[in-house]
Structure 1
């Protein structure tokens, strides 16, 4: 079995209760193996000859009221390969635990505190985990998902996996924050094979924010901007009215069609108003009128 030699951060946002796992490795599709999380319960990262049962089993312990240490004791008592395992666990209440088995490949270790567990194995040195921890603790100015990826990038640039780079992933869960509000899987992004996966993961997070952030700062469209919408939609045969900068139901239908083509429909609340970044995305997609 190939070791999942990697570094990861498991964390809780104390402001929202959201839980997340950020991970990177010289390993194909690390996001398919390491992270597990459930809103209102906890989050787990399992790595280094990863026992993939640790994710669901750890969450089950937490859901029944157990602590991260309780999950650790169960793993140690039931897994003959426990000395090869490494994991981090954070509960919905912020309790955290990290474990590095004696048989993990050096450098290997972890650090944990309230709301976070940072760990890694086969790293260039302890500075990787130290960068994970320090950046997470310092970058409280960032939203929680961006805080996780910033910590991951700092650890990567501090040395990361001594074998190199290949994949990275970000999983963040929150009550009712999944697509359409039907589950808790708010952000689930994976870079499976890339020469520099952590910046690519940050790029994907930016796209996710553009597409799915709730509309909060819509501003009125100018006559010139309405004219641009009319012209862009007309070129695509989505609008057949006058190009005169006047708002109408037909123009609104055309704007909705343009937004739908770019998966931006969730960023529109109706009327002649758009957020600046959404209008900029349309201009980038469809150019000058």
Structure 2
């Protein structure tokens, strides 16, 4: 009923899961991840206990393939109808598809990833996801890599029953909001006619609101640009003798505070300001 990818960033700092399904709120059931430990997707008559169990195994140094074998061996339930994918902080990912999962069902795994799905339009869903993942090795942002793979699966037919929900979870040590969390991205589309496209849109919004700007893109707040920004801020009710303080005040209202750098302005912030 679901297709998913668990993956690790090329530099090993981030771990995550992307998933889509004809199922309400798939993000509440399938994904789990723990920074510097691993990520897991449990699906097809999902055993939600796999999530803490897999992460506990990985945290003790058990590799992903051994963790998957342990999950299956310890499951007294509908194990032949289960599907699970696991990736650790190092080494290859691992996937399992029970013999009684609804067709088409299957998966594949390699260094730093595992892809799996059941009740799919066909094997091209997993194949195209794999191609998209392997072909995006130059993308440093794990969230975008995962969503690109998920979109490839969706475009290949995805869940043969249709579309309903999608989710993205990415963790990295200390890289969450304000540096006080390990949750880098946590987005859910619980009920939507085109959930994977909507998830990609939300990820773009997340980038705008929560990522810090690349230093090389910053524009110095001097001369005519400083005058323009000052006038626009005043027109929006944020006049201030100190331009940096005025810009920070306005950015806080607009939820753009992560992109504020004293003495400069992020082009995305400038575009947002000009659009108001």
- What band does the TM-score fall into relative to the shorter chain? over 0.9
Which residues of 2 match residues 1-289 of structure 1 at below 5 A? Answer: 5-79=1-75, 80-142=77-139, 143-215=141-213, 216=215, 217-221=217-221, 223-239=223-239, 248-249=241-242, 251-271=243-263, 273-284=264-275, 286=276
Q: Secondary structure at the match of 2:197?
A: helix
Distance 2:63 2:138 in 1: 29
Distance 1:54 1:236 in 2: 51
CA contact (8 A) 2:2 2:19 kept: yes
CA contact (8 A) 2:12 2:90 kept: no
| CA apart distance, 1:77 | 2.5
Distance 1:118 1:227 in 2: 52
5+ residue gaps, structure 1: 242-247
Distance 1:238 1:73 in 2: 59
5+ residue gaps, structure 2: none
Number of residue pairs the alignment of both structures matches: 272
> What is aligned with 1:245?
none
CA 1:65–1:162: 2 relative to 1, 3 Å: same
Deviations 1:128-183 (A, max 9, x none): 00011110001123232111111110110010000111111111111111112222
| CA apart distance, 1:45 | 0.3
| CA apart distance, 1:232 | 3.0
> What is aligned with 1:244?
none
Q: Secondary structure at the match of 2:167?
A: strand
Distance 2:181 2:245 in 1: 30
Distance 2:65 2:136 in 1: 27
Instruction: Provide TM-score, normalisation by structure 1.
Output: 0.89
| CA apart distance, 1:222 | 5.2
Q: What do you get for the CA RMSD once the two structures are aligned?
A: 1.5
CA contact (8 A) 1:68 1:97 kept: yes
